[in-house]
Every structure is written in structure tokens, then in C-alpha cells.
Chains A and B, each alone.
Chain A
Amino acid sequence: MNETFEFNARNMATYNEYLTRYDDVESALLPVLHLAQEQNGWLPEHVINYISGLMNIPAIKIKEVISFYDMFYDVPVARNVVHVCTNITCSMFGGREIYQGLLKHFDTGYLTPTRDGRISLQKMECLGACEIAPCMRVNNDFVGNLDLTSAIQKLEELP
């Protein structure tokens, strides 16, 4: 595994802009990790080491952050990441059943990419969109007022 990772020019500029937002470098870690994940899809060891060197933060501290938050991935994920809300409001409207139904339909597990590499499903706590419960987030778009059929239909449309 000799993979290398480096921010591309545009992300490097964003990174430098992030640094100016905070008093210290550590505070910029969350946005920087999102940036790296956006570029690489997930956060493998060599990306962590790159950020560790770049920001001068020990690798284990970055791993602590990544393992703490659900939205950073330390396993490979598919092209499209789908967050299905299973928190109280969505659960009351059938969010859990939708999540289980989607897993069954796509024959996959938590965060495991489907065999065609299209979709990774992730059970999520509150997405903050209770008004359209049950809801899910497809990449960066919210989809609400779901039932299992419409959810499957929506996901089958994904590239």
C-alpha cells in the first residue's frame, strides 16, 4: 500500500482559508477532514498520515476524531452515501423499517458498498429534518416524506 494523497490546488487553497478561520490549527481539523473525505471518498491510513503531517497533529488524535464521528469513514464507501434517519421522529414514521427494507433490497449491510459500487447505506441519528420525516440524505440532498417504495425508487435513480 504505497498510495499517496495530496490536496489538489483548489482544496489546498480552501485548506489555507480554513486555517485563517480559527485561532489554532487543531480547530480546523473537522472541516479539513471533510475536505479530504470529499476528495478521496474515505479516510484511509495514508490520508490520515498526510493530514497529520500537514497540520502537525499526531495521527492517533485524528483517528480519535474520525472514529468519534459517524460521518467520517475509515472504510471504503460507494460513490453515493445515503444516510437514513432512525431517530425518534423518523422512527415513529417508519424510518427504521425503511432502513431495514433498503438494506434488504440492495442486499448490503451498514456502510458496505453495494456490489455494483453505487450505494453505501448508513443508519443515522437525527438529520435535523423532522418536518419531512421519515427522511434520508442522499449525498448532500435531503429527501423527505418517504416510504420504502419511494426510497427505493429514489436510490435506483442514482448514477
Chain B
Amino acid sequence: MTEKVNLTWNGKAIQAEKGSNLLKAALDNGIEVAHYCYHAGLSVAGVCRMCMVEQDGVPRPFPSCNATCGEGMVVRNDTPKIKSAVETTLQFHLLNHPLDCPVCDQAGECGLQDYYMKHGVYDSQMIDKKVHKEKVQDIGKNVMLDAERCILCSRCTRFTEEVTKTNELGILNRGDHAEITVNEQLKNDYAQNLVDICPVGALTSKDFRFKQRVWFLEEVQTTCIGCETGCAVKVSENKNGAFRVKPIYDHDVNGHWMCDDGRNIYKHVSSPTRLASATENINGLFVPADELAIQATLKGKKAKYILSTGLTVGEYANFFKAIKGSKAEVALYTLPNLGVEFDGLLKRGDKNPNLRGAKAAFEAAGFDHTQAALDKMLGSIASSDAVFVVVPEILYNEDHFNTLIKKVEKAGTRIALTPGETLGTLRSFNYLLPVPSFLEKNGEILNYQGAARTLRAGLSYGETSKDVSYYGKWVNV
């Protein structure tokens, strides 16, 4: 147990760990301190000079991000001296800023805008021309760099140096001419985090660029289903669909970051080719179908289910409850591993978001979840069977899934339950039924640690409000 110390910040008594970061102590206790360069996940740089504080007994103001907490410290950042210091510093930050907020994606969540409203000197004293730098630079990995907007906080260079250790970014030249430059194109798998940590609009995401204004978006806190790590994320969305995924700090799982693959998990949810209602496949022509009619055609057929690993713990439980007492066979399709087992940061090769939950549910219901059981079921498929395949939400390897579909083709009735897009591969099914995606259901999944991670419903989309257990009730031979 680390020692706690008491300090006073703006007259408010707070507690912090001895020797911990002074700025962090304030932020953790809900005290607002303007800052650009400080980021809890990176080393301290002390370059933006925004978090200046005064301490009793210390003659000059100093940056709080570069100080540590000690017993009995009395710190203030609301004195006239500090206020004028912050105002002046902000003036310098804005000196060469192009003020292109109307066309900037960061507008609405920009550190410069936020602090300008609070600490701005509204009358410009600028008499010189602004220094212009290169604006639209594609630096790779879906990151766009606008050197003009940059305030040189060095968060991004520290990120590539300390977190990914790939060292692509640096600050070249000196003084007015200093600008962020890439040595070569970005090559790390965590590049989108640069967009998140950039406090201004210098680094923006190519994927999100010019799509939405951030004040039209709502954030839903949920869990990434891209791999078994289960990072805590927030998905920005509005009535037009989901637009981006950003990580939330979670000490035990993902820390501050998430990988680039996880940024794409929202894409199928509001895709125009997403299945919205029950559909029948008549020789390659997809026509809307009546669920009751589909139900009628299934009477008397032997039901075989191939579940994916993307369902929630609750969905598995409901499903097994629904088919209890029937002679239905159930097997589990697991996605193949992709890439390295674990890349040392967050990304894992096992792409099954809820493999542990699936296994537990299968075992509890007395079914076999192994690959052998799946192969056995695939081998025994006859034309009198109705096979239900729950399509995995994120298919990294379509070919692998296609081989599964090939083996299912012997069955008389083939039904795909799909939370994602209507892939070309689904042509070999007779019926397609929509099931909710991860953004449309509440529940829990178990990540690689076996820890329960929460999924939260943010969107309601089409008719996909029925979970897999609803379809499970259909066939009761």
C-alpha cells in the first residue's frame, strides 16, 4: 500500500499517493487544469506550459505535470499570476494556428477551442504573418497530418517512441519552423491512438474525416469485439449509424489504447448492405420473407445449430434454454487465429470475442464445443436437416468461413443468422435472418482473462431486436 499524502489545491483538500504526479492528482479529484502535453499514458514532457501552478513557499510558478505530490503542499492555479501566465501561453500556442475550425474535424472536442473559451485573450495582438506549413499529409495508417494546426505538444512523438517503440514521428527544424514529420509512413498497428491523443486537429482520422460533426454524436460505452482482449471502447453514433470507435481507459484490460483493427468493428452495423429483415434466397434473388412462412417450412426437420463465438453470455443461456428438450444438435464455430498470439501490447491472434463464455455455456448445457464435434456434425448433415449458422460478426478470414459453408450445403434447409453484412458467401443459404450486432444488444462477454466485459446497446436498427434464442425456439422436433 502506497503512502497517501494530503494536499490543498485551490483551497480544496485532496488526497494523493506520495510521489505521484501533481497534475494527475488534480485531474483525478475533478479539478480543472488546462494541459496539452501531459497524458497519463505517456512520459512527462512539460513543453506546453499550460498547467502552471503556484505553491506556497515556492517563489515562481512551475508546471504541475512535472511536479510530484508531497505532504502538506498548498497549490493554486486560480491566482491572477497563473491566469495571466496561462493566457499568455495560450496566445503563443495560437500564434501560427490557422483557425480553420469550420473545416476541422477536431472542432467540438479541441483543446485549443476549449481553453480559448476559458483562457483566451480575445483581441489579437498579432501583426506578423502566420507561418504556413503543409496541410493535408497522408502519413499512413489512415492518419492525416496538418502541420499548421499542430502546437508541438509532442504527445504523438512520445507515443511512437514509448508505446509502440516504432519511432516514426519526430519534430524537425526549430522555432517557428518546427513541425511534426514522419520518418517513413506510419507502420504500427496502434496509429489511430495518435488521433485520440492529439489535443488539437493536427492528426485526424482519414476514416472519420468530414463524416460527422462531433456535437451530433452520442457516445456509447461498450466493449470491442475485434479479438479476445475485449478493450473498453466508446462508439460514437447518432441516428444515421455508428461513426467511430475510441478507447476508454481501463486499467486492467487495455490501459489507454486500442489497436487499429478494433477501430473498424463498427462498420458492418450501419452498412447499407446490412440485413434488416428476414429474407428468402430464391436462386440468388433475395426477397423479403415472412418469418411464419419460414417457420412452417421447417416443421419436422432436424435442427442443427452452428453458433459463433460472438454471442453474449445471456444469449448463450437463452439459446440453450430455448432448445432444451429438443433433439437439436449444437456445435461451435471458432474463428481461426490470425497473426501472432499476442503482439505485446493489446492485439491478440485469437479473434473470438467470447470464446470463454461460449465454452462455459456449451459445457453447462452438456454440448461439445470442440472442433471435433463441429466436424462430426458437418459430416452427418443430411438433406432432411435444417442447419442454422450464426455468422460471426467480424470475419477476418472469409475463406475459412466459406469452407464451413461448403460443408453445410448438403442440408435441405440452410439458414444464416447474420449480425453483419449480407456477404456474397451467404448466397448458399435459403434464408437469411437478422440478429442484433454488438451495438444493439446488452450483455456480457468473457475476455481472455475470463473477466466479464459489458456490451451496451446504443442503436436500434431495423428489425434486429431478436436474439438467437428467438430463432432457437422455432424447431422443436
Chain A residues engaging chain B, CB cutoff 8 angstroms = 58-61, 63-64, 67-68
Decide if B167 touches A61 in the complex (CB within 8 Å): yes
Q: List 12 A-B contacts (CB under 8 A).
A: A58-B167, A58-B183, A59-B183, A60-B168, A60-B169, A60-B170, A60-B181, A60-B183, A61-B170, A63-B170, A67-B173, A67-B174
Contact of A59 among B161, B167, B171, B173 (CB under 8 A): B167
Name which residue of chain A comes closest to B161, CB basis: A58
Q: Tell me the smallest distance from the CB of A41 to a CB of chain B, in Å.
A: 21
Contact of B167 among A60, A67, A68 (CB under 8 A): A60
Decide if B169 touches A68 in the complex (CB within 8 Å): no
Is B172 an interface residue when CB atoms closer than 8 A count as contact? yes
Residues of the A chain whose Cβ atoms lie less than 8 Å from the Cβ of B181 = 60, 63
Residues of the B chain whose Cβ atoms lie less than 8 Å from the Cβ of A60 = 167-170, 181, 183
Chain B residues engaging chain A, CB cutoff 8 angstroms = 161, 167-174, 181, 183
Q: Tell me the smallest distance from the CB of B183 to a CB of chain A, in Å.
A: 4
Residues of the A chain whose Cβ atoms lie less than 8 Å from the Cβ of B172 = 63-64, 67
Residues of the A chain whose Cβ atoms lie less than 8 Å from the Cβ of B169 = 60
Q: Tell me the smallest distance from the CB of B261 to a CB of chain A, in Å.
A: 25
Name which residue of chain B comes closest to A64, CB basis: B170
Residues of the B chain whose Cβ atoms lie less than 8 Å from the Cβ of A64 = 170-172
A61 to B173, CA, bound (A): 12
Residues of the B chain whose Cβ atoms lie less than 8 Å from the Cβ of A68 = 173-174
What are the 3 closest A-B residue pairs judged by CB atoms, nearest first?
Answer: A58-B167, A60-B170, A60-B183
Name which residue of chain B comes closest to A74, CB basis: B172
A64 to B180, CA, bound (A): 10
Q: Tell me the smallest distance from the CB of B152 to a CB of chain A, in Å.
A: 12
A60-B181, A67-B172 known; 13 new pairs, CB 8 Å cut-off, are A58-B161, A58-B167, A59-B167, A60-B167, A60-B183, A61-B170, A63-B170, A63-B172, A63-B181, A63-B183, A67-B173, A67-B174, A68-B173
Residues of the A chain whose Cβ atoms lie less than 8 Å from the Cβ of B174 = 67-68
Name which residue of chain B comes closest to A68, CB basis: B174
Q: Tell me the smallest distance from the CB of B145 to a CB of chain A, in Å.
A: 14
A43 to B181, CA, bound (A): 18
Q: Interface majority SS on B: helix, strand, loop or mixed?
A: mixed
Residues of the B chain whose Cβ atoms lie less than 8 Å from the Cβ of A63 = 170, 172, 181, 183
A78 to B377, CA, bound (A): 77
Residues of the A chain whose Cβ atoms lie less than 8 Å from the Cβ of B161 = 58
A63 to B173, CA, bound (A): 9
Name which residue of chain B comes closest to A69, CB basis: B174
A64 to B172, CA, bound (A): 5
Residues of the A chain whose Cβ atoms lie less than 8 Å from the Cβ of B173 = 67-68
Residues of the A chain whose Cβ atoms lie less than 8 Å from the Cβ of B168 = 60
Instruction: Pick the most buried of A59, A60, A64: most chain B CB atoms within 10 A of its CB.
Output: A60
Q: Tell me the smallest distance from the CB of A124 to a CB of chain B, in Å.
A: 14
A64 to B181, CA, bound (A): 9
A59 to B168, CA, bound (A): 9
A130 to B169, CA, bound (A): 39
Residues of the A chain whose Cβ atoms lie less than 8 Å from the Cβ of B170 = 60-61, 63-64
A63 to B169, CA, bound (A): 10
A64 to B173, CA, bound (A): 7
A61 to B161, CA, bound (A): 10
Q: Tell me the smallest distance from the CB of B162 to a CB of chain A, in Å.
A: 12
Q: Tell me the smallest distance from the CB of B150 to a CB of chain A, in Å.
A: 15
Q: Tell me the smallest distance from the CB of A111 to a CB of chain B, in Å.
A: 14
Residues of the B chain whose Cβ atoms lie less than 8 Å from the Cβ of A61 = 167, 170
Q: Tell me the smallest distance from the CB of A27 to a CB of chain B, in Å.
A: 18
Residues of the B chain whose Cβ atoms lie less than 8 Å from the Cβ of A59 = 167, 183
Name which residue of chain A comes closest to B179, CB basis: A67
Name which residue of chain A comes closest to B174, CB basis: A68
Q: Tell me the smallest distance from the CB of A158 to a CB of chain B, in Å.
A: 29
A68 to B161, CA, bound (A): 19
A58 to B183, CA, bound (A): 10
A28 to B173, CA, bound (A): 20
Instruction: Pick the most buried of B168, B170, B171: most chain A CB atoms within 10 A of its CB.
Output: B170
A63 to B174, CA, bound (A): 12
Residues of the B chain whose Cβ atoms lie less than 8 Å from the Cβ of A67 = 172-174
A126 to B169, CA, bound (A): 31
Name which residue of chain A comes closest to B157, CB basis: A60
A61 to B165, CA, bound (A): 13
Name which residue of chain A comes closest to B165, CB basis: A58
Instruction: Pick the most buried of B171, B174, B183: most chain A CB atoms within 10 A of its CB.
Output: B183
Q: Tell me the smallest distance from the CB of A52 to a CB of chain B, in Å.
A: 10
Q: Tell me the smallest distance from the CB of A75 to a CB of chain B, in Å.
A: 14
Q: Tell me the smallest distance from the CB of A96 to a CB of chain B, in Å.
A: 20
A68 to B177, CA, bound (A): 10
A58 to B181, CA, bound (A): 14
Q: Tell me the smallest distance from the CB of A87 to a CB of chain B, in Å.
A: 15
Name which residue of chain A comes closest to B175, CB basis: A68
A64 to B174, CA, bound (A): 9
Residues of the A chain whose Cβ atoms lie less than 8 Å from the Cβ of B171 = 64
A159 to B179, CA, bound (A): 38
Q: Tell me the smallest distance from the CB of A129 to a CB of chain B, in Å.
A: 23
A60 to B164, CA, bound (A): 15
Q: Tell me the smallest distance from the CB of B307 to a CB of chain A, in Å.
A: 47
Q: Tell me the smallest distance from the CB of A70 to a CB of chain B, in Å.
A: 9
A10 to B86, CA, bound (A): 53
A63 to B179, CA, bound (A): 12
A59 to B172, CA, bound (A): 12
